[in-house]
Amino acid sequence: MSGIYLVSIIFLGISWLVSMRLKSKFSAYSQVPLQNGMSGKEIAEQMLHDNGIYDVKVISVEGQLTDHYNPMDKTVNLSQDVYYGQHVSAAAVAAHECGHAVQHAQAYNWLMLRSRLVPLVQFSSNIVQWVLLAGVLMVNAFPQLLIAGIVLFAATTIFALITLPVEFDASKRALVWLQQTRITAGQTHEKAKDALHWAAMTYVVAALASVATLLQYVFILMGNRDRED
């Protein structure tokens, strides 16, 4: 059990470092204005329209780095700094979230698969930690409980892994469009690319942490079986 805590602490530290780096990058690139003076809202709307999408709304939401695309109500939700911002960070984030809207409109396979897993992951996330804890404590008397916990946690791990191609593809679509439209060019485009790179790293760390934790629980189960043999 101590190994699981150690892995969690290590990845929490890595996640914190990546998150701080991401915030630092976005803060720095928020000081780099776009030559055309477009806001994140205007950029998002133009990217949607350029891709033939007219049934998605671009709205402003509270918070920092709370930007996301909601496929349920077809809204691109931009934090206020991105929504009103006329800088490289706003352009990168707005275009990235619209990348998800384009994926949805084109029925991008990885996004469709991730969407189908959402109900299962929501159910699993509500109970998995309790099932795993009980499973570890009762591994000798009732190993089936730990197996159930591993299966539930595996669902969240698969979800985290599937999220990676979804996020990388959205960033790729965003950067191609930003370059084609010359909204970002030269150094500003490199800065937009760097910002999205660090945003993607947060998902990479989360996926690796999930895989490492899952393996720890599998090792506990296998170790118990070896003792029984």
Q: Is the dihedral of CA 185, 186, 191, 196 positive or negative?
A: positive
Distance between CA atoms of 114 and 163, rounded to whole angstroms? 7
Q: Are residues 187 and 195 in contact, defined by beta-carbon separation less than 8 angstroms? A: no
CA of 118: how far to CAs of 81, 156, 160, 191, in Å?
Answer: 29, 9, 11, 33
Q: How many residues does the chain have?
A: 229
Distance between CA atoms of 61 and 58, rounded to whole angstroms? 10
Strands 57-61 and 75-79, bridge-based pairing: parallel
The catalytic site residues sit at: 97
* SS3 category, 82: helix
